[in-house]
Amino acid sequence: MNNQSDKNQDNNIHMLRYLEQKQEVSQRDIAQHLGISLGKVNYILNAFVEKGIVKAKNFKNNKNKRAYAYFLTPEGIKEKACLLYTSPSPR
């Protein structure tokens, strides 16, 4: 694998781990926590939802802004395990 694919795979692993621990979170919070751009978070989450790895549900938080709750699906749990198993760098 090349360096860019390794980095993308690491981003995917870290995001799946984070979403497993904290479902009710904004994309901005995810971006800050993972140290990646908001656009990259949006791109990855949309891909996860499209592949059935993550399910997104609307909810309203205390500040009355629209936000989402992100849940790993059974397929997402399998994907996370596969990514961890094939990950080039231990974390």
pLDDT(1) > 50: no
Would you state the torsion angle of the CA atoms of residues 44, 46, 52, 56, taken in this order, to the nearest 10 degrees?
Answer: 110
Alpha-helix runs per DSSP H in the chain: 3-21, 27-34, 38-51, 74-86
| Amino acid letter, residue 6 | D
Answer with the residue of higher pLDDT: 79 or 1: 79
* Mean pLDDT rounded to a whole number for the chain: 80
Band (40; pLDDT cuts 50, 70, 90):
very high
Q: What is the pTM of this model?
A: 0.72
Residue 52 has which token pair?
Answer: 């059935």
Answer with the residue of higher pLDDT: 85 or 69: 69
